[in-house]
Amino acid sequence: MDFAQSYNCTAREAVQNSYFSEPKVTLHPAVVYYNGQHFSYVFVSDSQSHNAQAVIVIVNKLIAAIKADIVADINLVFYFTDSPTSQYRNATIFQFIAKHEELFGFQAHWHYFEAGHGKGPCDGIGGTAKRLADQSVRSHGTLIHNAESFLSWASQSNQKIKYVLYTAHEVDDMKAQLDENPPLRVPGTMAVHSVRPSGVSDVVSVRATSCNGNTCICDGNSRCQGWSNHPVALIYKDQQWLAFKEQDNVCLGQVQQQEGATLSVKCVERCEGSEELYRWSASAVKQIDRQTVLCKIAKPTILKRKNGSFRFTVTTLRKVDKSAGK
């Protein structure tokens, strides 16, 4: 799949100045190969955001289309795209691959073509869609002025290509959703050409060259080398201290264990009459969502002479207040 050059909405009869203000429609072709057959899709939108958030919106709709049109029971998907860092080869997509099974119920591998690889099937589909639209405008006076009218024309044009609409609002919602859990950057991203889940939550395996087998094709026995694992979301180690929000309260505690997005945290409570002294809370270990974490904090000083109380530095407490917006 790939973004095609946007379609310029023109009219058969238009004033000269309209050339400089022609609306554009984003086209994103995708070709699905399954069981010796291929199926062509074009995703259309008024949104001109060609970024990772738009790509994830498109993939969500593509998976739904595959299940509805081709096969309902999917075990594994391979994505093949170009490698621009603003669209496909970036931390957001790597995190998406790590969460793919959680989102859709099956794993996915993502492979990136090298620069200068030449034209592919998506280029042909995008070009065909724009050529047929232009022919309809010039020959039949079809009015195409936005993504919805493009989709309306396409649905009546009796093509083998299936067209699917996505909106700018969906892209904005996806961005807001992803911003709640920003991904971690993978070192050497520009050299990555293959990404797959590692088997560990929020960790992906990456490789400089693509490989889909469990054993190397060179001899058929040894396991392929060159894979390296990298976290794509913030991972909290055991005994890490942090601050998190529980309803309207800010709590401090120590991580006991992390299972995916859930943290087991042993909390502390403030000692009476002191702003800096804390002690272990009488409540049991709390299970919190990682998205409620405000910040990591420095380990407190244990005061043995004060019944094992903890003292946080003023700098640490100010950091917590700032993270909580106080």
pLDDT in tens, 28-54: 999 999 999 999 999 999 999 999 999
**Angle at CA of residue 261, ends 260 and 265, nearest 5°:** 100
pLDDT digits (tens, 9 = 90+) for 225-240: 788 888 887 777 778 8
pLDDT digits (tens, 9 = 90+) for 53-94: 999 999 999 999 999 999 999 999 999 999 999 999 999 999
- The Cα–Cα gap between 284 and 319 comes to 26
Residue matched to tokens 């955001």: 49
**Whole-number percent of the chain with pLDDT over 90:** 53
Give the least confident one: 17-31, 176-190, 216-230.
216-230
pLDDT digits (tens, 9 = 90+) for 135-157: 998 888 888 889 999 999 998 88
| In 156-234, alpha helices (H) | 168-179
- State the pLDDT at residue 77: 95
- The Cα–Cα gap between 305 and 289 comes to 35
Which pLDDT band holds residue 322 (cuts at 50, 70, 90)?
confident
Long-range contacts of 152-161 (CB under 8 A, 24+ apart): 154/42, 154/44, 154/129, 157/132, 159/132, 160/40, 161/40, 161/41, 161/42, 161/125, 161/128, 161/129
- State the pLDDT at residue 175: 93
- State the pLDDT at residue 61: 97
CB burial of residue 150 (10 Å; 0-12, 13-18, 19+): buried
- State the pLDDT at residue 26: 96
Averaged pLDDT score across all residues of the chain: 87
Which pLDDT band holds residue 110 (cuts at 50, 70, 90)?
very high
- State the pLDDT at residue 14: 58
Which residues lie across from 206 on neighbouring strands? 195, 228
Residue 311 φ/ψ region, left for φ over 0, alpha for ψ in the -120 to 50 degree band, beta for the rest = beta
- The Cα–Cα gap between 43 and 61 comes to 9
- The pLDDT of 169-184, averaged and rounded, is 89
Give the least confident one: 119-123, 159-163, 270-274, 294-298.
270-274
pLDDT greater than 70 at residue 273: yes
pLDDT greater than 70 at residue 299: yes
pLDDT greater than 90 at residue 262: no
- Give the start-end residues of each E strand in the chain: 7-8, 24-34, 37-45, 76-81, 107-112, 162-165, 194-197, 203-207, 228-231, 241-246, 249-259, 262-270, 277-280, 286-289, 293-296, 301-303, 309-311
For residue 99, give both structure tokens: 């969460």
Long-range contacts of 265-273 (CB under 8 A, 24+ apart): 268/310, 271/309
Q: Supply the pTM of this predicted model.
A: 0.74
